Structure 1
Amino acid sequence: MEIERGRRSRRRNRVLIASVAGAAVLGGVLVLLPWNGGDASPPAPGPAALARGAVTTGVPAALPDLAVLIGDRERHLRAQPLDGASWAVLGAAYVEQGRRTADVANWAKAEKALHTSLKVGAERNPQALEGLAALAVARRDFPAAKKWGESAVKAAPKRWTAHAVLIDAYTGLGDDKGVGRALEKLTELRPDAPATGARAAAVYRDRGWREDAQARISDAAAAAETPAERAAYLEQAGHLAFERGEREEALRFFEEALRTDPDQRAAQVGQGRALAALGRTTEALSAYQAALAERPDAEYALELGELYESLGLGQAARVQYDLLRERVRDAEAAGADERLVLGRFEADHGDPARAVRLLREEWGRQPGIAVADALGWALHRTGEHEEALEFAAIATDGDKGGGVRSALYVFHRGVIERGLERYGPARRHLREALMINPYFSPLRAPEARRTLAELGEPSVEDPPR
């Protein structure tokens, strides 16, 4: 009898194993699949499964897949409202959809879903905590991102995606040591993941290690597992190439990103940027307009407005600046911090004194390198050149944290030095800006050339100051 019972048990186990082998999890639902026991590969995962895999591992997801995942989780949660894990997945999907589309209505939905996950889920819920950190990054609320990210790491120290979000939080706070620790931990936990390479490339870029950054992002794009992920890394590679002044190479990266994922709007804006630098203005304007139609981002509106202004099309520029103000109001109403982009706009195209007020507040709250540059420039525009130079030095001096090789930052420093009659350093920095990237801005690159011409060559009779 014991032998017979053992045989029956083994038969039941074989049936169970065969049943599981013929099933798949799609959108959190177990679905039986036909399986004939052959060597054929199982069917590819559906859109919801692909998007869920992306948002739970911190990589870009395709917009159509995200829409399917959101609909799937919303239906599931109407039937199972106490499923904390699904609330966390839904919240992360809202964050990613908002990031990809610049639709700030997603922020409130994401916040509600993630806090619900904390309320109904386990006491230690690292996925929801990490989602709140990612939401804070999307809103440019870096102190909150640090708080939620560190809580996620405390709840699950080996959760590598939480360390990735902390890199963004520490970068926004100007905490270079924190960035280094987070990248070191991320590399230790997931050394070969394409997402790790992409994060490392961003950190290397900020430190001025341009060749290392390009190598890491190229490897990440080659190893990416989905078209949306690969397109995001190609866009990052194009951005790095453009910052080096390599217009043709940047355009190739941006166009390949768009072929890989037509919804990659950052690549479409990059395409416009590269086309404008190549003198293909009509195509550039079309690329910008197409991107803004689908992703009305304030940064994109500022960039297109300045391109119009460089072409002498003041009315068209003002339309984009009005769009920028509208997007800033919407984003701030949704809990985002838009003082940096608004301060940059006001310094050059509005009220520089207001720009100083906005950016001083931003510096007091989250003193990143981009804020240092913007505040220094705003102070220069109000005539406070000495203090302006202090912030410009922070943004451009590697010993003070500003290791990034930014032509715009160096240009700002050169113009500020000219305002202080420090003509030698002014010439050096203006030349350096044009060496880094001769096409860095349709407005400011020509200004750099004009200013250099006005300064002329240093006098051989007078000693350098």
Structure 2
Amino acid sequence: MENQQEGPVRRERGARRRRVLIASVAGCAVLGGVLVLLPWERSAEPAPPSPGALAMAAVGSGVPAALPGLAELIEEREEAVRTRPEDATSWAVLGAAYVERGRRLADPAYYPRAEKALRTSLSVRPRHNTPALAGLAALSNARRDFPAARRWGEAALKLEPRRWTTYPLLIDAYTGLGAYKAAKRTLDRLTGLHSGPAVLARAAAVYRDRGWREDAAASLADAAAGARAPAERAAYLERAGQLAFERGDLDVALRHFREAVRLDPDQRAAQAGQGRTLAALGRTTEALTAYLAALAEQPSPQYALELGELYESLGMPEAARVRYGLLRERVRRAAAGGADEELVLGRFEADHGDPKAAVRRLRAEWKRQPGTEVADALGWALYRAGKPEEALRFALSATGVEPGGGVCDAAAMYHRGMIEQKLNRHGAARRHLTEALRINPHFSPLHAPTARAAAEALGEPPDEGVPEMGDEAS
């Protein structure tokens, strides 16, 4: 009986095996057919974009571009305009790439080339050429010629009001001119048109100028998280590092600066930021190394001033003088390239040169573009030149709630406190010197110790006591 039952079972198992085998063979045949067809039916994986293409996308959308990509883009566009001199678009792209490369290298020699390319684009296509107008606005901002930046930016915006990349250029121009309400209105229009990392980074700058530092830090964190390219993310991290340093949050600042350099080794502003932060942490050998590395590749007058003051604070006057000489040379080169470095030169002259010359330079700068930074520098130069009464007016402008909105800058508070001390306004001086040290007790290796000494000399505020009832009635 068992054998009788086993026969059908075996037959069923054999049938099942044959069905599986047939299906397997059929499956292999189908799979083989698919494998044969795949190379013909599926296109090859697209090649990753070249550095030049990435730079083209960055320049076109107003975000930071990597230096190797800029070099490739410039070479491509130079060849394009040689073969097609009537190509207005290529001229405009070439001009914008020159601006960005000059800005990143602190090399104003690129700016005349940029102007020539952008004006050639306009001559080829004099009407409806928004890219060339926007490029001239970017060039003017890079040169610190904010009146021209406003003119070019407003002309570009008139042609294409919905072209969002024009708005950041105008925000920079309005900020440089001290038109902070216009900058905020422009930001509101920008955020209504577009979103993304570039907009968040621009918003952070406006928030910082209005004293909204937590909002600025949050916007920069979001911008860095959303950035697509390493160079873009590095630029936003560098700005976040600046903001953290201004708040006196040195560990956070150093972390941001280091990550920025890791992502983009050409991020020299972050290297200088490392120098600034390491000096504040007392790690002077590392600070000097970082500053020297930054200056070797991006000889910015501002970095030269900072390094010179660091040397001076360390009792190394000869090394400081070398850096101050570099500062003067770079300012002369900037002027030859049409760039304005009067602000940093005025700051240098006020503390290390001729304060009266600083006043003359900064008065002219204030008349042309009266921003908060210029007000602070002019006030300090007037104080150093022996005019504290007039100096106070500019110090109040630099540190008041209006026009900027309440930027909390330790150096500006220190300047105001020292001016007030000179005028025997001891209560106000004590308050603002203390505020400077509260914001950032390491704001300058040269001036922070002076601020502490001045605050200690003023002592604690007098204890007025509680008035007696009879005194209050009388």
Task: Tell me the TM-score normalized by structure 2.
Answer: 0.89
8 Å Cα contact 2:312-2:320 kept in structure 1: yes
Pair 1:75 & 2:75 matched: no
The corresponding residue for 1:205 is 208
Alignment counterpart, residue 345 of structure 1, candidates 344, 348, 368: 348
Q: How many Å apart are 1:186 and its aligned residue?
A: 1.1
CA distance in structure 2 between the partners assigned to 1:238 and 1:459 by the alignment:
38
CA distance in structure 1 between the partners assigned to 2:43 and 2:112 by the alignment:
47
CA distance in structure 2 between the partners assigned to 1:160 and 1:365 by the alignment:
27
Q: How many Å apart are 1:460 and its aligned residue?
A: 4.0
8 Å Cα contact 2:153-2:169 kept in structure 1: yes
The corresponding residue for 1:354 is 357
Letter of the 1:113 partner, please give it: A
Pair 1:92 & 2:96 matched: yes
Letter of the 1:96 partner, please give it: E
Q: How many Å apart are 1:95 and its aligned residue?
A: 0.2
Pair 1:46 & 2:46 matched: no
Letter of the 1:373 partner, please give it: D
Task: Tell me the TM-score normalized by structure 1.
Answer: 0.90
Alignment counterpart, residue 165 of structure 2, candidates 144, 151, 161: 161
Letter of the 1:256 partner, please give it: E
Q: How many Å apart are 1:248 and its aligned residue?
A: 0.7
8 Å Cα contact 1:414-1:427 kept in structure 2: yes
Pair 1:178 & 2:182 matched: yes
Alignment counterpart, residue 424 of structure 2, candidates 421, 424, 431: 421
CA distance in structure 2 between the partners assigned to 1:209 and 1:62 by the alignment:
30
Alignment counterpart, residue 386 of structure 2, candidates 376, 383, 394: 383
Q: Structure 2 vs 1, CA of residues 460 and 228 (structure 1 numbering), >3 Å: closer, same or farther? A: same
Letter of the 2:269 partner, please give it: A
8 Å Cα contact 2:180-2:403 kept in structure 1: no
The corresponding residue for 1:317 is 320
Q: Structure 2 vs 1, CA of residues 36 and 52 (structure 1 numbering), >3 Å: closer, same or farther? A: farther
Gaps of 5+ in 2: 1-38, 467-474
The corresponding residue for 1:237 is 240
Q: How many residues align?
A: 428
The corresponding residue for 2:441 is 438
8 Å Cα contact 2:178-2:403 kept in structure 1: no
Q: How many Å apart are 1:37 and its aligned residue?
A: 4.4
Letter of the 1:104 partner, please give it: P
The corresponding residue for 2:407 is 404
CA distance in structure 2 between the partners assigned to 1:185 and 1:71 by the alignment:
36
SS in 1 for 2:443: coil
- Larger mean Cα displacement after TM superposition, 436-445 or 36-45: 36-45
CA distance in structure 1 between the partners assigned to 2:381 and 2:345 by the alignment:
11
Q: How many Å apart are 1:180 and its aligned residue?
A: 1.1
Cα distance per residue 1:25-57 (max 9 Å; x no partner): xxxxxxxxxx95427652221111111101111
The corresponding residue for 1:220 is 223
The corresponding residue for 2:283 is 280
The corresponding residue for 1:60 is 64
Q: Structure 2 vs 1, CA of residues 316 and 87 (structure 1 numbering), >3 Å: closer, same or farther? A: same
CA distance in structure 1 between the partners assigned to 2:40 and 2:392 by the alignment:
72
Q: How many Å apart are 1:457 and its aligned residue?
A: 2.1
Alignment counterpart, residue 147 of structure 1, candidates 148, 151, 158: 151
Identity of aligned residues (%): 66
Based on CA coordinates, which of the two structures has the bigger radius of gyration? 2
Letter of the 2:230 partner, please give it: P
Pair 1:247 & 2:250 matched: yes
The corresponding residue for 1:18 is none
Gaps of 5+ in 1: 1-34
Pair 1:194 & 2:200 matched: no
Letter of the 1:182 partner, please give it: T
CA distance in structure 2 between the partners assigned to 1:328 and 1:137 by the alignment:
16
Pair 1:301 & 2:304 matched: yes
Alignment counterpart, residue 130 of structure 1, candidates 97, 113, 134: 134
8 Å Cα contact 1:394-1:402 kept in structure 2: no
The corresponding residue for 1:331 is 334
